[in-house]
Structure 1
Amino acid sequence: MKRLMLKVRMLGQEEITYGDHPILSGKNKITKSMELLLLLLHRRETGIARSRLADALYGVEEVADAGNSLRVTLHRLRKLLLDAGMPEEDFITIREGVYRWSSREEMDVDVWKFRELIEGAEKETDEVRKAELLKAACQMYRGEFLPKLSGQEWALLAAASYKKMYCDALTWIIEWLKKRREYDEILCLVETACRLYPFEEWQTVKIDCYIAQNRYNEAMAEYENTARMLAEELGVAPSERMMEQFRDMSSHISNRPGTVEDIKHGLQEDKKDWGAFYCTPPSFRDVYRMVRRNMERSGRSVYLLVCSLTDSQGRAMEQGEKLEQLAGKLGDAIHSSLRRGDAFTRYSASQYLVMLGELSDRNQPDYGFIYKGTQELGETAALLRDFPV
């Protein structure tokens, strides 16, 4: 008879099965019984003292008797495991006030394997073998540790520890593979990091790989997508350090020699857009500087329009889902209302910058088109200020 196995997934998702019987799936809410099980499995080697266990489970809640609540939770966990078909045994032992998972059942727990791979690599003296272990560890890391329990302090601290293990392992294996020019292998490994931690600059590794392989168009696309994401999703102006990073990246990105027609085709927009031209903040800065230079020769006036979202009292709105929705509507209004020759960017979570050209000093810009586009914003007002460029 085939022996059943308890399988536990904690990296990127919460899932527990015994044979074909699901005990916890990603769709379920994590009960205190399940949290107790996950905590004990996480602390398999050392166990956890009763007081610390009660504090981890109920520390931020108003529980009259944490000790009694722990006993009830433990009883429910044992019943739940028995109902799942596990043989009757002492799944959890308590010795000298320390709770420890002690089931003799065969188990497959991802965090156990992940730690074993990292610890094995740290002891390994052969670089090839160390690289194999770290590569396996990186492939096993599918996401943050117990994401549904991120509000619990113990889970948050453990998640930070596992993330550091993963990032350190990935950094080492990337440098090792770069020496061997195995760029495709690096791209496969770093793709997960870019998805999990999009604001931690792992995209620069992809760009380096593309450049090393002479894949300049893909490098440029990665740069532009990253710049747009940082501006739109992070909701803040890029830091000077980040701007410098983008300058360094763009300085290494160039197109292959080609005919004039090929070059013109590559520079053109992919499709006809009748609205204003959206730029990432770094691109908007470059356009702004170029326009200032052209003004010295042409004598024409160009205005910089600052659109700020505020509440009905004129105060800056706090970041959140509502601000993000309203900022998106304002961006759509600006894009659809302005001319093709005007440029705009999202400067911060609550501000857009617009560059209005072909205006005379005697003919100040009319902001009616913006107000029409923002009528649906309700109590939120778009405060508009213009300044000569």
Structure 2
Amino acid sequence: MANFNLLGPVEIVVDGHVRTLGQHKLRQVLAVLALRANQIVDTDLLIQELWDERQPKNARTILHTYVYQLRKTFEQDGLCRHGEELVETRTAGYLLRAGDDDIDVFRFDRLVREGRRLLRDGDVAGAAALLRRGLDMWSGRAVADVVPGPVLHGHTVALDEQRVCALEMRIEADLELGRHRDVLPELRLLVETYPYNEGLHGQLISALGRCNRRNEALLAYQNLRHLLDEELGLAPSPQIQELQRELLSAGMLKKMAS
């Protein structure tokens, strides 16, 4: 049975051998079918993904040709067993038959859900390990070698959000495990990549504070406050403001003790 990788370039993997599809439209069709594996994907939805508002008159015929090419690809080089049909034709559209472990997106989702459960139950080390395993599956943005149409765009946005949530949980676990120095470089990069994500900013401020770099932590808070005020007319969340008060209180206590 073939495995499908979507957390990076679109790939078909059989017995450790990776196969990529040369045609962009083939990768598009495969990505949509794989993301909705074991569900009927409506023909009109696939046409919308491939051409949006610039649909050719013979769009259905062209789509059928792409599906036929996918099937031929699966058959050659042992990508599927002889006579096995991974892509089934249904009245309304097409269905990709795949197991729960055959698509990396579903394996990632399962690891994240299990990691969240372990974190909630207090198994911080176990949660960090599972979340790291899931995040290591990524090799760039989702379907990195596809210019997404309207359907895939929605999926990639959701996957990126899920990845960021997993990153926040894994960093939370690492902070609880005392790995605050280890996560600092990663957090600095993440707040540059996701400048409006207050959770990541809060983790950076917290990590700097735990490293006894109070001045840098307060500067990170001021940078966030300035960004939110200038760009959105907002103040930092109450949780982030509480972090600042804790840092200021720690500084005052240190002065009183000296």
Q: Give runs of aligned pairs for residues 1-389 of structure 1, distance below 5 A.
A: 6=2, 8-11=4-7, 13-18=8-13, 19-20=16-17, 22-24=19-21, 31-83=24-76, 85-87=78-80, 88=82, 89-102=84-97, 109-121=103-115, 126-128=121-123, 129-130=126-127, 132-141=129-138, 143-147=140-144, 149=146, 151-179=148-176, 181-184=178-181, 186-187=183-184, 190=187, 193-194=190-191, 196-201=193-198, 202-216=200-214, 219=217, 237-241=230-234, 252=247
Q: Deviations over 1:146-176 (max 9, x none)?
A: 2454641111211232233334444444455
CA displacement at 1:71 relative to structure 2 = 0.8
- The answer to whether the 8 A contact 2:225-2:236 is kept is no
Letter of the aligned partner of 2:20 in structure 1? Answer: I
| Structure with larger Rg | 1
Tell which deviates more after alignment, 179-188 or 71-80.
Answer: 179-188
Structure number with higher relative contact order (C-alpha < 8 Å, ≥ 6 residues apart): 2
CA distance in 2, matches of 1:120, 1:248: 30
User: What TM-score, normalized by structure 1, do the two folds share?
Assistant: 0.48
| One-letter identity of the residue aligned with 2:163 | Y
Once the 2 structures are TM-superposed, how far is the Cα of residue 204 of structure 1 from its aligned partner?
3.5
- Structure-1 separation of matches of 2:197 and 2:176: 23
Per-residue deviation, 1:51: 3.2
SS at structure 1 position matched to 2:88: strand
Offset from partner CA, 1:33-55 (integer Å, 9 cap, x none): 11111111111142423333333
Cα distance, 1:250–1:113 mapped onto 2, change above 3 Å = same
Please give the alpha-carbon distance, in whole angstroms, between the structure 1 residues aligned to 2:137 and 2:193.
13
Moved more, 138-147 or 150-159: 138-147
1: CA distance between counterparts of 2:209 and 2:35? 41
Q: Percent identity?
A: 20
Unaligned runs of 5+ in 1: 258-389
Distance 1:241 1:168, change over 3 A: same
Write 1 or 2 for the structure with the bigger share of helix: 2
Indicate the RMSD between aligned Cα atoms, in angstroms.
Answer: 4.3
What is the rounded CA distance, in whole Å, between the counterparts of 2:221 and 2:163 in structure 1?
24
Q: Check the 8 A contact 1:149/1:155 in 2, yes or no.
A: no
Match of 1:272 in 2: none
Structure 2 runs not aligned, ≥5 long? none
1:112, distance to aligned residue in structure 2 (A): 2.2
**More strand per residue:** 1
